Amino acid sequence: MSTLLNLPKYIESVVNPSQLKGMSNDELAGLCASLRHDLIDSVSKTGGHLASNLGIVEITVALHKVFETPKDKLIWDVGHQAYIHKMLTGRKERFNTLRQYKGLSGFCTPVESEHDAFLAGHSSTSISLAVGMAIARDQQKQKHKVVAIIGDGGLTGGMALEALNHLGHIQKDVVIVLNDNEMSISENLGGFSQYMKRIKETFFYKDIKEKLDLIEDGLERERLQAGVWELISSVKKEAKARIETPGIVFEKLGINYTGPVDGHDVKAVVEAFSRVKELKGPQLVHVITQKGKGYAPAEADSIKYHGVGAFTPEKVEPAQVAKESKAKTKTYSHVFSETLIRIAEEQEDLLAITPATAEGSGLVQFGKVFPERFFDVAICEQHAATMAAGMAKSGMLPVLSIYSTFLQRAMDQVIHDVGILNLPVIFGIDRGGLVEDGETHQGVFDIAYMRAIPNMRVFAPKDGRELQNMLYTVCKERSGPAAIRFPRDKALNVDSEWPLEEIDLSKWETLVEGDGPVLLAFGSMVDVALSSATELAEQGVKVQVVNARSAKPLDHEMLNGILKNADRKVITLEEGCLTGGFGTAVLEYAASLKLKTPSQRLADVVCIGIADHFVEHGSRSKLLDLNGLSSTKVSEKVLNFLS
Amino acid sequence: MSTLLNLPKYIESVVNPSQLKGMSNDELAGLCASLRHDLIDSVSKTGGHLASNLGIVEITVALHKVFETPKDKLIWDVGHQAYIHKMLTGRKERFNTLRQYKGLSGFCTPVESEHDAFLAGHSSTSISLAVGMAIARDQQKQKHKVVAIIGDGGLTGGMALEALNHLGHIQKDVVIVLNDNEMSISENLGGFSQYMKRIKETFFYKDIKEKLDLIEDGLERERLQAGVWELISSVKKEAKARIETPGIVFEKLGINYTGPVDGHDVKAVVEAFSRVKELKGPQLVHVITQKGKGYAPAEADSIKYHGVGAFTPEKVEPAQVAKESKAKTKTYSHVFSETLIRIAEEQEDLLAITPATAEGSGLVQFGKVFPERFFDVAICEQHAATMAAGMAKSGMLPVLSIYSTFLQRAMDQVIHDVGILNLPVIFGIDRGGLVEDGETHQGVFDIAYMRAIPNMRVFAPKDGRELQNMLYTVCKERSGPAAIRFPRDKALNVDSEWPLEEIDLSKWETLVEGDGPVLLAFGSMVDVALSSATELAEQGVKVQVVNARSAKPLDHEMLNGILKNADRKVITLEEGCLTGGFGTAVLEYAASLKLKTPSQRLADVVCIGIADHFVEHGSRSKLLDLNGLSSTKVSEKVLNFLS
């Protein structure tokens, strides 16, 4: 049992961050302990991001001690490490609703609190926002502070580096707090992070230098053997050189560097923030923290505790958690990654790429089996896509596993570097559809924007087996770029022993025959359509259910047969935005047929999908129903369409 | 008359880069002079990028002297500075077809030559491609060299920094040639470029140190006044410290730095390339060049000569060129930028942002009038969009001028940082539609991807006057994000003295009444529809022409009136991709009406726009016709639809 659960609960009395102002360093340290207690308690019940929030307790407390929200602007990168911030800014009572439908968001959002200066969910945005807000502040002749809090992972994102570069040029008063926990979601990668690692070694050098100072003080030079004094001096000099310019890269870019600071020494962090608060120009405070700090299982395995479901804090053992999660039904991510390993055994030029989602995508396992053929490029979606294009141009078969919402970052690269040359880059679009993380993470736009790219093909499997065969087929065919999207959910109908088979991807298949309306269902909606067909049959409506596995190209042959019957009704179903999505593809095709055969009346086509709004957070099943994509809701719409 | 025109023409004899291998340094220098001659001669006839290519002559010659294409891979960032490379790799004879329809591309493309390792047009992609190709090479156990040639401007792009970071980590053998010409398209910005500037000062320090060495050698310490010797030593030490670590930022990121090298000393460049060719791991060679080198007018005004139309090299005077271009009819870019200045005079919180397209967008003038309210953020589209979101959240009115093709880089930021919070960020989408630069630069996807974003509004003016009023209206309204797209063309119907008026943006207007088909034309297609209407009237077909100025929201009231007539034909027209575009929006709306009133037959809608392919280079009018968007082609389609 974690001893933390026995810590005092100072937090009960903190309802407003201004209460921190009068606290002593000891009281702040006590508050930190108390916050850790409550955090573990809460997250164990609701699930959520644990390790990163445990790591940032002292930083958060120090920020609220030194700065004054909402006047001063705290901009949290990604936002999933702002739980402590939320607890300190009047949201502790509602913390048990975290990530629940209509409950607290798992990220920052100004809709929830004036203490959240901006919304975040995706990484690497905070410095750009801070620059924008600092420019606005100066235009408006205001005096408040603007603070971006970003992790070492976030700093690998190109847009954060763009912003750093711009800030170094315009020299606005912005404080950047770099929360360096030596590990972003996946293993921390990049030359930059190795540089940061070397900075941290200054702790070590400082130590050496101080010890040598003591030795020198205690010795008399004359009595030493020849050379020893020189040796000591030379080591000292070397150590000194290394500690003198730890932040030289930042300094060279025009950003004043402070640090490194021990991020679990609240006094040290408060002092560092207080100091930079008074300085002009761009400031970066480099704070070293440990993910999962204060909770042994999370310290030991911060990746597992990055985002967790509910658990029992008293009993939990890392090994146990691992066993439980393995016993669960496979997700589509698992099916994708394990199938990729099987294909890679056969196709030796297959390379797997992930932008910092090795765990979420299940590709960690691929990396273990094929370490030389696995590339986690950090939070660099743009680089990932274009690097894949370079690989494909050189005759390799790159497979990029990427979440739908993050692929938005690489749209230009998919068009410009992959699309134009029609290169065989395979995109495994994970979390395609609704997710519980809220509006920043909904994977609803991918069908629309991928479909608009010439040469791109867009597929979605109806179940786990089809995902296996789809992936196998695109890897065998290698005929230009292809995207396979799948939802964040348990996979239906799958067995990892099943043989991999090539399938005709551009052909749709009728799963249920019927003389009523035709349901053209894409990917995850096939199962919904099947349930709806059963429900409708009970009402005497016999729908035809089609597994429309390819949104691009469409199965023109089957569509021609369906559309030419003017008395038929056609209903498209997709877990994606209605604007420009799969249903739209069917409408566009029908309209093009009219241009060819103007006199012909075609079947009426209507589309069911996600309306033109941002979808809030909640469980996937809840959100599907709210957005009209549960079987009940689909059945209702079909009956309404017929009446 | 430029003396260059009298230089010897070595180039005549160079038809293959292998011929450079045997040349002496003097011969290479002569070749460089000859290439400059031919470059000016060619570009003066065809138009194209002049200044950047004049600056990179020695680098290109040295690359082909040291490396061996196509075995070694030369990856040109952006690709518009690869003219000399093209001339050296068998394309000199066709150089007079540069950027002409079916002629040589203005960029690199492997379709054109095996010596072009990849395609480029957008900036900052080369290092990612090089990393991908180096990984592929090592997987395939090959031995060739991979070289990325990138400018200092390109290095401001976030994806280039992502790639640098990744390369520093994986330590592949990649050579990066940094062509530092102190000026990207717009003024070179960013802390990074200031750092580079300081590196260049090492030339100066090196000089000082060498001189002091000589002084020391010539003096006898004992005879000097006390202190003078120490003074010399201290200055020497300071100078030495500065020249010892010019590339420290790169070194810290794990990239071995060589330089700075004088980029117009072909011998020095050849030596530097030869040296790094033998080294393992990531290499960066920092080469200092001057844009427009060797052609006085271009040296004096490299921005004007960045991309030019045809000119007379013997007679040209910078002042003359400036006068000529001013006498021309205004482009939509000009109308946009001058109108923005007028609005900014009234609305003091309006801020203008451009990602390195200050000249192309015409915003240079805004920057002169309002230097404190103008932000050129370098080639950082992502940062630009999110910074704008930060400004808007703080109560300012940011206007981001961005080319359609480059806005693809900021899609995630528009969704995540602008869209979700419904912030009033105005997007001026320049070059929306077909451009002569070829497939990498076509601005054809913006309607589709912007329309899919909740809260976004998407407008396009029929002429210059409407652009003025649209921009004025969105700046007055401030009701969430709005995009106004306009083509790269001369503006119709505009006078900069006309008063600015608010208009009802969501209402379409009928410009020509008729009982035949209805032409719903978006933006630039209104003028085409009007011409087509005249042509069709001669054939006895009286079409109705509607200026559908808003693709989102649609004018439902007008559409309801049109669609409820089942005998009517509706034709949509847009200079954008058919997939997911404006016409699709009309189809989607018609389909949604069917769901509401299932028994009703609606008007048939068909869409005219750009089919699902990448559009090659050529003049805009040529491309419009080829893509069925000239008035003649539209009239043909309408008649066909009616028959």
pLDDT of residue B313: 63
Measured in residues, chain B has a length of 643
Position of tokens 């409506």?
A541
Q: Which of B253, B452, B569 lies closest to A580 in CB terms?
A: B452
**Looking at the predicted structure, is the pLDDT value of residue B195 above 90?**
no
Q: What would the pLDDT profile of A373-394 be if each residue is shown by its tens digit?
A: 999 888 899 999 999 999 999 9
Residue A87 lies in a domain: yes
Q: Are residues A425 and A347 in the same domain?
A: yes
CA dist list (Å): A283 to A257, B386, B390, B531: 6, 20, 19, 59
Q: What would the pLDDT profile of A16-72 be if each residue is shown by its tens digit?
A: 888 899 899 999 999 999 999 989 888 888 777 888 899 999 999 999 999 999 999
Q: Are residues A161 and A80 in the same domain?
A: yes
pLDDT of residue A316: 40
**How is residue A317 written in tokens?**
């053992």
Q: What would the pLDDT profile of A442-495 be if each residue is shown by its tens digit?
A: 999 999 999 999 999 999 999 999 999 999 999 999 999 999 999 999 999 999
Contact B412 A415 (CB under 8 A): no
Burial of A12 (0-12, 13-18, 19+ CB in 10 A): exposed
Cβ atoms A480, A404 nearer than 8 A:
no
Q: What would the pLDDT profile of A296-316 be if each residue is shown by its tens digit?
A: 777 777 666 666 666 666 544
Domain that holds residue A384: 332-485
Report the pLDDT averaged over residues B410-428: 95
**Looking at the predicted structure, is the pLDDT value of residue A344 above 90?**
yes
Cα B546 to Cα B519: distance, rounded to the nearest angstrom: 6
Mean pLDDT of chain B: 87
Question: Which of the two residues, B209 and B90, has the higher pLDDT score?
Answer: B90
Q: Please list, residue by residue across A205-232, b when 16 or more beta carbons sit within 10 angstroms of its beta carbon and e when fewer do.
A: bbebbeebeeeeeeeeeeeeeeeebeeb
- Provide the 10 A C-beta neighbour count for residue A603: 17
Which site among A112, A127, A128 would you substitute to test the B interface, given the most B Cβ atoms closer than 10 Å to its Cβ? A128
Question: Among B276, B300, B324, which residue terminates a domain?
Answer: B300
Q: Are residues A75 and A22 in the same domain?
A: yes
Q: What is the ipTM of this complex?
A: 0.86
Q: Of B30, B38, B31, B29, which Cα lies nearest the Cα of B5? A: B38
pLDDT of residue B129: 92
Cβ atoms B573, B519 nearer than 8 A:
yes
Contact B163 A198 (CB under 8 A): no
pLDDT band at B198 (very low <50, low <70, confident <90, very high): low
Q: Are residues A395 and A530 in the same domain?
A: no
The most distant pair of C-alpha atoms in chain B lies apart, rounded to whole Å, by: 110
Residue B325 lies in a domain: no
Q: Are residues A480 and A521 in the same domain?
A: no
Question: Which of the two residues, B47 and B104, has the higher pLDDT score?
Answer: B104
DSSP secondary structure code for residue A581 in this structure: S
* A61–chain B nearest CA distance, Å: 24
**How is residue A629 written in tokens?**
């994509």
Percentage of residues in chain B with pLDDT exceeding 70?
Answer: 83
Residue B323 lies in a domain: no
Mean pLDDT of chain A: 87
Name chain B contacts of A617, Cβ cutoff 8 Å: none
Contact B393 A419 (CB under 8 A): no
What is the secondary structure of B274-314 as a DSSP string? HHHHT--S-EEEEEE--TTTT-HHHHHTTTTTTSB----TT
pLDDT of residue B248: 75
pLDDT of residue A11: 55
pLDDT of residue B326: 47
Question: Which of the two residues, B306 and B576, has the higher pLDDT score?
Answer: B576
pLDDT of residue A319: 37
Name chain A contacts of B119, Cβ cutoff 8 Å: 416-417, 420-421
**How is residue B535 written in tokens?**
């042509």
Cβ atoms A205, A306 nearer than 8 A:
no
Residue B491 lies in a domain: no
pLDDT of residue B45: 82
Burial of A26 (0-12, 13-18, 19+ CB in 10 A): exposed
Q: Of B31, B229, A44, A541, which Cα lies nearest the Cα of A532? A: A541
Residue B628 lies in a domain: yes
CA B372 to chain centroid: 25
CA dist list (Å): A324 to A41, A490, B115: 20, 15, 55
Least confident of A106-115, A193-202, B458-467: A193-202
Q: What would the pLDDT profile of A563-602 be if each residue is shown by its tens digit?
A: 998 888 999 999 999 999 999 999 999 999 988 887 778 8
Residue A120 lies in a domain: yes
Q: Can you give the three-state secondary structure of B327-373, one letter per residue?
A: HCCCEHHHHHHHHHHHHHHHCCCEEEEECCCCCCCCCHHHHHHCHHH
Q: Of B421, B491, B488, which Cα lies nearest the Cα of B455? A: B421
Cβ atoms A28, A61 nearer than 8 A:
yes
**How is residue A20 written in tokens?**
């921190």
Report the pLDDT averaged over residues A177-202: 62
pLDDT of residue A325: 45
Cβ atoms B70, B312 nearer than 8 A:
no
Q: Are residues A9 and A149 in the same domain?
A: yes
pLDDT band at A238 (very low <50, low <70, confident <90, very high): low
pLDDT band at B156 (very low <50, low <70, confident <90, very high): confident
Number of domain units in chain A:
3
Q: Which of B166, B377, B445 lies closest to A189 in CB terms?
A: B166
Angle between helices A158-170 and B158-170 (to 10 degrees): 120
Q: Are residues B57 and B115 in the same domain?
A: yes
Residue A308 lies in a domain: no
Q: Which of A119, A161, A411 lies closest to B161 in CB terms?
A: A161
Residue A544: CA count within 13 A, CB half-sphere: 19
Q: Are residues A67 and A124 in the same domain?
A: yes
Cβ atoms A602, A566 nearer than 8 A:
yes
pLDDT of residue B366: 96
Contact A159 B157 (CB under 8 A): no
* B394–chain A nearest CA distance, Å: 6
Cα A101 to Cα A124: distance, rounded to the nearest angstrom: 26
Report the pLDDT averaged over residues B313-333: 55
CA dist list (Å): A233 to A214, A218, B534, B636: 12, 14, 91, 88
Contact A110 B421 (CB under 8 A): yes
Residue A426 lies in a domain: yes
Name chain B contacts of A439, Cβ cutoff 8 Å: 420
Report the pLDDT averaged over residues B487-505: 94
pLDDT of residue A492: 94
List the alpha helices (DSSP H) in B119-227. 126-139, 158-170, 191-218
- Provide the 10 A C-beta neighbour count for residue A196: 23
List the alpha helices (DSSP H) in A47-177. 51-55, 57-66, 83-86, 126-139, 158-170
Cα B5 to Cα B314: distance, rounded to the nearest angstrom: 8
Is residue B271 annotated as part of the catalytic site, yes or no? no
Cβ atoms A139, A133 nearer than 8 A:
no
**How is residue A415 written in tokens?**
């068009």
Cβ atoms B391, B398 nearer than 8 A:
yes
- CATH number for the domain that contains residue B53: 3.40.50.970
Question: Which of the two residues, B547 and A122, has the higher pLDDT score?
Answer: B547
Strands annotated E in B460-582 = 482-485, 509-512, 518-521, 544-547, 550-552, 569-577
Name chain A contacts of B612, Cβ cutoff 8 Å: 454
Burial of A477 (0-12, 13-18, 19+ CB in 10 A): middle
SS3 B407: helix
Percentage of residues in chain B with pLDDT exceeding 90?
Answer: 61
- CATH number for the domain that contains residue B617: 3.40.50.920
Q: Are residues B360 and B454 in the same domain?
A: yes
pLDDT of residue A513: 96
Cα B599 to Cα B602: distance, rounded to the nearest angstrom: 10
Contact A129 B387 (CB under 8 A): yes
Q: Are residues A424 and A385 in the same domain?
A: yes
Strands, sheet with A256-262, edge to edge from the N-terminal-most edge strand: A73-76, A146-151, A175-180, A283-288, A256-262
Position of tokens 């390993």?
A341
For the annotated catalytic residues of A, the residue numbers are 291, 381, 409
- Provide the 10 A C-beta neighbour count for residue A238: 12
Contact A190 B139 (CB under 8 A): no
**How is residue B220 written in tokens?**
């006898």
Q: What would the pLDDT profile of B1-35 be if each residue is shown by its tens digit?
A: 344 444 455 555 566 888 899 899 999 999 999 99
Cα A164 to Cα A147: distance, rounded to the nearest angstrom: 13
Q: Are residues B218 and B357 in the same domain?
A: no
SS3 B8: coil
**Looking at the predicted structure, is the pLDDT value of residue A207 above 60?**
no
Q: Which of B129, B253, B375 lies closest to A389 in CB terms?
A: B129
Position of tokens 């500075």?
B81
Q: Are residues B86 and B136 in the same domain?
A: yes
pLDDT of residue B7: 47
Burial of B478 (0-12, 13-18, 19+ CB in 10 A): middle
Contact A164 B191 (CB under 8 A): yes
Cα A392 to Cα A286: distance, rounded to the nearest angstrom: 39
pLDDT band at B245 (very low <50, low <70, confident <90, very high): low
Name chain B contacts of A189, Cβ cutoff 8 Å: 166, 169
Contact A166 B377 (CB under 8 A): yes
SS3 A78: coil
CB pairs < 8 Å spanning A and B: 421
* A11–chain B nearest CA distance, Å: 31
pLDDT of residue B299: 73
The 8 Å CB, 24+ separation contacts for A600-603 are: A600/A564, A600/A566, A601/A566, A601/B601, A602/A563, A602/A564, A602/A566, A603/A518, A603/A562, A603/A563, A603/A564, A603/A565, A603/A566, A603/A567, A603/A568, A603/A569, A603/A570
Cβ atoms B237, B209 nearer than 8 A:
no
